[in-house]
Chain A
Amino acid sequence: MNTMHWVLPLVGWVLAPLMLGIINRVKALFAGRRGPSVWQLYYDLFKLLQKASVYSRSTSTVIRVGPSVVLACMVLATTMLPWGEWQAPVTFLGDIILLAYLLGLARFATVLAALDTGSSFEGMGASREVQFAALAEPSFFLGMLVLVLHFGFSGLSEMVSEISFETWQTSGVLLILVGCSWFVLLLTENSRIPVDDPNTHLELTMIHEVMVLDYSGPDLAFILYAASLKMWIFAALVVNLVVPMHSLVPWLQAPTFLLGMVLVMVLVGVVESILARLRLLQIPKVLVGSALLSLVALIVRLMG
C-alpha cells in the first residue's frame, strides 16, 4: 500500500459531487435552460450539514445508523478503484467481489432504513430497489467474468492495467459490449433515466428517490454524498474498462482518466435528456438484456 496511491481515492472523494453537477448542467443545456451551477451539490451539502434533523416517530435506531453505514461503504469502495496503470491503494485477488458486496451492504442499509419509516411510499421504493438489484448483480458479475477470461484472474488494478491499444485491436468488441452492459448498470444503480427519474417524487418513479424522503439535515447530506460517490465508482469502472491507458505516457494518464470521467457524465446527461423513462415492467427485460450483452461477449471470446 503505497501512500502515493491514496491520492486516487482522495481525488474521488473531493470531485464526486462535481460529477453530479456536470450531469445536471448537461441536462439543463439540452432543455435550453442555464441550469444550476456545477458546484451546486457542494453548496447543498454544506447547507445540510448545518441543519438539524427531523425524525419520524415511527422510526428507530435503524434510520439514524443507516446513512453512516451507507457512506462508510461508499468511501471504502472508492479506495479499491484503480486509474488505469495507477493501482488502487487497496488491491488483492478478488477485490472486485468485495466491491460489489460493499455496494450490496449499502443497499441493504438503505432498504432497511426505508422500511423503518413505516410508510408505503418507502416500502414501494424498497421493494422495487431490491428487485432491480437482484437482477443487476448477475449482470455485473458476468461482465467481470469476461475480464477474467481475457486477462486472467487477479486484482482489479492488475486486470485493467493491461488494457491497451492492442487490446482494442484484437478484442475491441468485448470491451464495447461489457462497457455497454456496465453503462446500463450505471444508469440502473444510480437512478438515472431510463430506469428511474431522479427529479420527481411521484409514485410512478419511486425507486431510489423515494427511499430518501424521510431523511433531513446531516443524514440527507451523508446520503447525497454517498450517491455521488456511487456514481463516481460506476463511472470509474466504465472508464477503466474502455480507455486504453496502458498505451499512454505516465504523466498523461491521470488527466485522461479525469477527462474520461467528465465524458461519461456528459454521456449520462445526454442519455437522460434523449430517452424517456421506461415502464417499470420493462426494466427486468433491460437488466436481463445487459446480462446477455456480457454473455454474448463471453461467447465471442470463447469462439476465438
Chain B
Amino acid sequence: MTIISVLLILSCLLLLGSSRLHVAIRVVAIQGLLLGVLPIVRSMGDIHFGIWILALSTIISKGILLPWLMSTCVRLSGIRREIEPFVGFGPSLLCGTALLGLAVWITDRLELTQAQAPLVVLTSSFFAIFVGLFLMVTRRKAITQSLAYLVMENGVYGVGVSLSLDFPFIVELGILLDVFVGVFLMGNLLFHLDREFEHLDADKLTELSDLSGVAQPPSAGFNAAEEKA
C-alpha cells in the first residue's frame, strides 16, 4: 500500500511537470490501475465478491476506457503539448511541493490512527485532489482540464477507499457514471469546439459571454490551427 501511494504521489508530480499530453493520459491510466488494485490490497484478509467487482470496474473505467477516450480526442484534434500554462512547469513543481505539505498537514490534523485508515494513502489521495484542482486552474487546454477532473476524481476515490471499504455499490457506480458522463460530454464539446473555433484554449470561452458581444463566427478548417509539429 505504501508503494501504491508513493506511485500515486510521483505520478501527480509528473503531471505537474510534464507538458506532453499523451504522457499525461498514460499517467492517469496508470493511476486508475493503481487505484483499482488498492481495495484488493486494503482488504487482504477477507475479499468478497463486491470488492472484486469494485476493483474490476475501476480498472476498466478509470484505467482503460476513459484514457482511451481522451487519447482519441487528442489524436483527432492534433494537439500534442500544453504550452504556456498560467503557471510555468518549474513553478508548478514548486507549488506541488507546497500542496504536498498541505496534504501532510491536513492528514496530521485529522487525528486518525493507522487502523482506521492508512495515513500514507490518505495523504496521497488528498494530494491528488489538490493537484487536480491546481491543474484545472492553471492549464489552458480544455483537454488538460478534463484530465485534471479525472485526477481529482481519482483522489476522491482514494480517500473513499482508505476511509471505508464497504461502500454501497450504487454510490460508487454513481460516481463512476458521473465521471464517465462528464468526460464523454467534454469530449463531445471538444469535438464541436474544435469545429467551431480555431483555438482550444478554454479562456477563449469567455468570448461566448453575452456581455462581451457577439460570439466568434465559425471559422473554416476542421483541424486546430496550432500544435502541428
Contact = CB atoms under 8 A, between A and B. Distances in A.
- Decide if A and B touch, CB cutoff 8 A: yes
Interface of A: 173, 177, 284-285, 288-289, 292-293, 295-296, 299-300, 302-304
A285 B89 contact: yes
11 contacts: A173-B3, A173-B6, A285-B17, A289-B13, A292-B93, A293-B10, A295-B100, A296-B9, A296-B13, A299-B104, A303-B119
Contacts of A177: 6
A284 B114 CA distance: 37
Contacts of B96: 292
Contacts of A289: 13, 17, 93
Given A304-B114, A304-B119, A296 B104 contact: no
B43 interface: no
Size band of the interface chain B makes with A = 20 to 34
Interface string B67-102: 000000000000000000000011001101100100
Contacts of A303: 104, 107, 119-120, 123
Contacts, number: 44
A302 B90 CA distance: 26
B216 interface: no
A240 B218 CA distance: 64
Contact of A284 (B90, B104, B107, B123): B90
Contacts of A304: 114, 119-120
B45 to A, nearest CB: 20
Interface string B108-148: 00000010000110010000000000000000000000000
A224 to B, nearest CB: 34
B164 interface: no
Contact of A292 (B3, B97, B114, B119): B97
A178 to B, nearest CB: 12
A302 B120 CA distance: 9
Contacts of B114: 304
Contact of A302 (B5, B13, B104): B104
Contacts of B97: 292, 295
A300 B90 contact: no
Contacts of B2: 173, 300
Contact of B13 (A173, A292, A300): A292
A296 B93 contact: no
A49 B89 CA distance: 47
A89 B54 CA distance: 57
Given A284-B90, A299-B9, A300-B120, 13 more contacts: A177-B6, A285-B89, A285-B93, A292-B13, A292-B93, A292-B97, A296-B6, A296-B10, A296-B13, A299-B123, A300-B6, A302-B104, A303-B123
Contacts of B10: 293, 296
Contacts of A292: 13, 93, 96-97
Contacts of A173: 2-3, 6
A293 B17 CA distance: 14
A293 B9 CA distance: 10
Contacts of A302: 104
A295 B10 CA distance: 11
Contacts of A295: 97, 100
A205 to B, nearest CB: 22
